[in-house]
Structure 1
Amino acid sequence: MKTLSRAAGISAISMALLYVIAFVFFGVFWSYPSDGSPAEKMTFLAEHQFSFNVIYTLMYLVFAVFLSFLVVGLYQRLKVKSEGLIAVGTLFGAIWVGLVIASGMIANIGLAYAIGLMEVNPEKAFDVWGIIYLMVESLGGGNELVGGLWVLVVSIVALQLGVFSKYLNCLGIFVGIAGVATIYPSEIFTEIFGISQIVWFIWIGSSLLGRENESKDWGGAVVAKR
């Protein structure tokens, strides 16, 4: 169990790092021609396909692998005293893992398909890419309902059990509510969820790693090392 807790802690901090990498990449290096013509936009995507695939692989596929460790690690940590509610939360976490993986694969394969249509009709290629991107955003980018529900339930359970810091759990509840709020199509909720979740990932990861110095029987008792 200590190994799983360590893996979950490292994964949480790694996910925060991936969020930061994505923010920096799209904020500093990604100069997408938003006001350009469909042909100009598709040409830009074709020229930057490799970097697009790399960043989306990190943002979605690698992120999902780390997320799976965190979902299972938190389930193991909290299930002893709250099997029912934490099981529901873990279900949302598992669904989120699947949605994130699907989003990443659709984005990478879909872009390659759209670029392949450029020789036939650049405008049609752009229309196809618009549909593909809408699918990606709907599943795992612009709508964070499922992830928000997972964080919300996990934080409520942890708060009820007195596991982790009270302030950490309150932050998790805030993050979860922000994620649920993304069902309303407004960028502000997505940004709040993303930024606040970076803090939550780092904090929960540090808390999990900090427990390596304790010997636990996972039935709730804590035995101090001699």
Structure 2
Amino acid sequence: MGTDDRQPANPTIGDHTDYKRKRLNMSPELQKAGGFSAIALAACYLIGFAMFIFVLDSSGYSGPSGSVAFAADHAFQLFLTTLVSYVLAGLFLVVLVLALNDRLKTHAPGAMQIATAVGIIWAAIVLVSGMLSILGADSVTRLAETDPERAATVWLAVGIVQNVLGGGTEFVGGVWITLVSLAGLRGRGLPRALNLFGVFIGLAGIVTIYPDFDPLNAVFGLSQIVWFVWVGVEMLARKSNKLKPSAA
């Protein structure tokens, strides 16, 4: 007798079952790196918030000249804060973006291609914003020794550019988290509750592009800390070489 080449009576049901059970071709090393990077990102954000709340107190410094004086008086603290919350965070973000693409691309390839491109752009924005702040602060404090008025003007310009890059809006980050969460809902590579939470955070970040919704920047930033920790724990703890089947 030859090989039985008969197809399932209901190809649609068979295809759906295959879809649910399709193996995720994930790199364990990249998943582990992504998990650690997500938790490190949360730590970077917490350190940044703590520094600006408890250490970098700008009360008593008013006007453009006061901003320059504040930068000069707190040069080292500002450098460390920016290094951690922007430069290091940007590098960790690159690893997380690639790890999430590796995890979710199997069942949402198109969405994850777009999400990964947006995520890399966001990481670049964070890195550039941080380096601009570090180098700008150093240049301005040096200039202030000889020309305080010009230093105040330059510092104002640096602040505007940094604000445009990401300090004043979380639009790009919101788009990335939204796309990743929607891809996660489709493929179940992450828990449904985490993905729904991510959609909420992402939409909050997207609307910050409108100036009147500026207060949502804080909501987005604080919620991201929870999201990063949750994602990191899932990536480190879940031994999911296969997709977790969805409820029939």
- Please confirm whether the aligned pair reaches a TM-score higher than 0.5, indicating the same fold: yes
* Shift in Å, 1:63: 0.3
Q: Of the candidates 136, 139, 164, which is equivalent to residue 138 of structure 1?
A: 164
Structure 1 contact 6–208 (Cα < 8 Å) conserved:
yes
- Matches for 1:18-57 after TM superposition, within 5 Å: 18-33=44-59, 36-57=62-83
Conservation of the 8 A alpha-carbon contact between 1:5 and 1:73: yes
CA–CA distance in 2 between the matches of 1:190 and 1:50?
26
Q: Point out the structure with max Rg over C-alpha.
A: 2
Q: In structure 2, what is the equivalent of residue 176 of structure 1? A: 202
Q: Percent identity?
A: 36
Tell me which amino acid in the other structure corresponds to 1:187: D
Q: Decide whether the 8 Å contact of 1:78 with 1:158 is kept in 2.
A: yes
Q: Give the number of aligned pairs.
A: 218
Number of the residue aligned with 1:65: 91
Q: Deviations over 1:8-38 (max 9, x none)?
A: 0111011111111111111111111465254
Aligned residue among 183, 192, 196 for 2:219: 192
Q: Secondary structure at the match of 1:182?
A: helix
Q: Secondary structure at the match of 1:81?
A: coil
SS at match of 2:146: coil
CA distance in 1, matches of 2:30, 2:222: 26
User: What runs of 5+ residues in structure 2 fail to find an aligned partner?
Assistant: 1-26
| Matched ranges for 1:13-162 at <5 A | 13-33=39-59, 36-162=62-188
Q: Relative to structure 1, is the Cα distance of residues 83 and 123 closer, same or farther in structure 2, using a 3 angstrom cutoff?
A: same
Structure 1 residue 52: Cα displacement: 0.6
> For each residue in 1:140-172, what CA deviation from the matched residue of structure 2 results, as whole angstroms up to 9, or x when unmatched?
222111111000000001011122111100000
Q: Which amino acid aligns with 1:132?
A: V
SS at match of 1:42: helix
From 224, 235, 241, give the equivalent of 1:216.
241
Residue 199 (structure 1) shift: 0.7
Q: Which runs of 5+ in 1 are unaligned?
A: none
Equivalent residues of 2:56, 2:74 under 8 A apart: no
Name the CA distance, whole Å, in 2 between partners of 1:7 and 1:101: 19
Distance (whole Å) between structure 2 residues aligned to residue 101 and residue 177 of structure 1: 23
- CA gap of 1:193–1:215, structure 2 versus 1, over 3 A, is closer
- Matches of 2:223 and 2:63, distance apart in 1: 35
Q: Is the 8 A contact 1:33 1:40 kept in 2?
A: no
- 1:43 and 1:195 mapped to 2: Cα distance? 29
Aligned AA (1:56) = T
**Structure-2-length-normalised TM-score:** 0.83
Equivalent residue number for residue 14 of structure 2: none
Question: Per the alignment, in what secondary structure is the counterpart of residue 84 of structure 1?
Answer: helix
Contact kept in structure 2, 1:110 and 1:129, CA below 8 Å: yes
2:144 partner amino acid: M
- Determine the C-alpha separation between the residues in 1 that align with 2:95 and 2:108: 19
Matched residue type, 2:150: K
Deviations 1:110-157 (A, max 9, x none): 111111221232122112101101111211222111111000000001
Aligned to 1:203: 230
More displaced 10-residue stretch of structure 1: 23-32 or 150-159: 23-32
